[in-house]
Amino acid sequence: MEAFYAILIGILFAGGIYGILRRSMVRVIVGIILLSQSINLLVFFSGGANRGKPAIMDGETAPSFSTMADPLPQALVLTAIVIGFGLIAFVIVLFQRVFSRLQTDDTQELFKTDS
């Protein structure tokens, strides 16, 4: 199971890398999204995979790893999702500005703006 998800993370990561190496900016954004998703999964599974044991107490039994999933990676991932969303939203606005200004989505043509 762990090995299975490790492979999934690896594939998503590879997809993300391939995406950011494209010249089309839309694909670069897709690459960034895939990268952040694979990393979120990586952090998430660092706490181990637990089914049906959310980190929420019932108020009676004492909390322990046998009854609850590790809350720390979850808190980290929650932050990471929101920050990742912030990044992607910003990149999307940036791309939209560039596109409406230069009418191109090719990163190689961004050289034109330097001069």
In whole angstroms, give the CA distance from residue 37 to residue 9. Answer: 9
**Quick one: which of 51, 66, 112, 115 contacts other proteins (CB under 8 A)?**
51
Bridge partners, 24 (sequence order): 106
Return phi, psi of residue 3, to 5°.
-65, -40
102 lies in the binding site for other proteins (CB under 8 A): no
- For residue 95, the minimal CB distance to other proteins (Å) is 6
Size of the site for other proteins (CB under 8 A): 91
Residues from 8 through 27 that contact other proteins (CB under 8 A) = 8-15, 17-24, 26-27
- For residue 25, the minimal CB distance to other proteins (Å) is 9
In whole angstroms, give the CA distance from residue 81 to residue 54. Answer: 18
